[in-house]
Structure 1
Amino acid sequence: MGDPRISAIGKGLRRRGRLMKEAVSPPRRTLDAVPSPRPVTERYVAPRAPRLVESPVFVLSSVRSGSTLLRVVLNSHSRIRAPHEMHLRTVHVNLTRGFTPDAMKALELDRSELEHLLWDRVLDLELSRSGKDVIVDKTPPNTLIWPRLQRCWPSARYILLLRHPGAVIASLTDRRKDPDHEAILAEVTQYAEKLEEARRNLDVHVVTYEELTADPEKATRGICGYLGVPWESAMLDYGRKDHGTFRPQLGDWSSTIKSGRIQPARRAEEGAELPPRLAELAQAWGYS
Structure 2
Amino acid sequence: METPSERRLILILSSERSGSTLTRVILGENSRIVAPQEMFLMRYPDYRTFRERHAVAIESLVEFFALVGQPRDAAAIDAACAGRSTPDVYQWLFGFLRPGELLLDKTPAYANDGDTLRRSLPLEPFYVWLIRHPLGVIESHVRIKFQEQHTPDLVGLARRIRDSLVDRVAKSVHGLLPVARQREVKWVMQQTIIREFLATVPDDQKWIIKFEHLVRNPEPVVGGLCEALGVAVEPKMLEACGARRVMNVHLGDPNFHTRDHIEARAADAWRQYFTEDRLTRETRRLMDAIGVVRDGG
TM (norm. structure 2) is 0.64
Structure 1 gap segments, 5+ residues each:
1-52, 96-111
The Cα of 1:215 is off from its aligned counterpart by 0.8
Structure 2 gap segments, 5+ residues each:
1-5, 50-82, 150-177
RMSD: 2.8
Task: Tell me how far apart the structure 2 counterparts of residues 75 and 67 of structure 1 sit (CA, whole Å).
Answer: 12
Task: Tell me how far apart the structure 1 counterparts of residues 243 and 275 of structure 2 sit (CA, whole Å).
Answer: 39
Residue in 1 aligned with 2:199?
A: 200
Residue in 2 aligned with 1:74?
A: 27
Does residue 88 in structure 1 map to residue 87 in structure 2? Answer: no
Task: Tell me how far apart the structure 1 counterparts of residues 129 and 29 of structure 2 sit (CA, whole Å).
Answer: 19
State which structure, 1 or 2, has the greater radius of gyration over its C-alpha atoms.
1
The Cα of 1:226 is off from its aligned counterpart by 0.4
TM (norm. structure 1) is 0.66
| Counterpart pick for 2:228 among 221, 226, 229 | 226
Task: Tell me how far apart the structure 2 counterparts of residues 221 and 187 of structure 1 sit (CA, whole Å).
Answer: 30
Alignment size in residue pairs: 214
2:252 partner SS: coil
Task: Tell me how far apart the structure 2 counterparts of residues 184 and 75 of structure 1 sit (CA, whole Å).
Answer: 28
Residue in 1 aligned with 2:89?
A: 118
Does residue 261 in structure 1 map to residue 255 in structure 2? Answer: no
The Cα of 1:182 is off from its aligned counterpart by 4.1
* Structure 1 stretch displaced more, 193-202 or 112-121: 112-121
Instruction: Render the CA deviation track for 1:146-177: whole Å, top value 9, x for unaligned.
Output: 12211x31x21111100011211221122113
Task: Tell me how far apart the structure 1 counterparts of residues 84 and 247 of structure 2 sit (CA, whole Å).
Answer: 32
| Counterpart pick for 1:272 among 254, 276, 282 | 276
Identity %: 27
Residues 81 and 132 in structure 1, CA contact (< 8 A), matched pair in contact too: no
Please state which structure has a larger fraction of its residues in helix: 2
1:84 partner SS: coil
4+ residue runs over 4 A deviation? none
Residue in 2 aligned with 1:136?
A: 104
Give the counterpart letter for 1:118 in structure 2. Answer: V
The Cα of 1:122 is off from its aligned counterpart by 3.4
Residues 226 and 232 in structure 2, CA contact (< 8 A), matched pair in contact too: yes
Task: Tell me how far apart the structure 2 counterparts of residues 185 and 259 of structure 1 sit (CA, whole Å).
Answer: 26
Give the counterpart letter for 1:160 in structure 2. Answer: W
Task: Tell me how far apart the structure 1 counterparts of residues 283 and 260 of structure 2 sit (CA, whole Å).
Answer: 32
Task: Tell me how far apart the structure 1 counterparts of residues 216 and 253 of structure 2 sit (CA, whole Å).
Answer: 19
Question: Structure 2 vs 1, CA of residues 189 and 233 (structure 1 numbering), >3 Å: closer, same or farther?
Answer: same
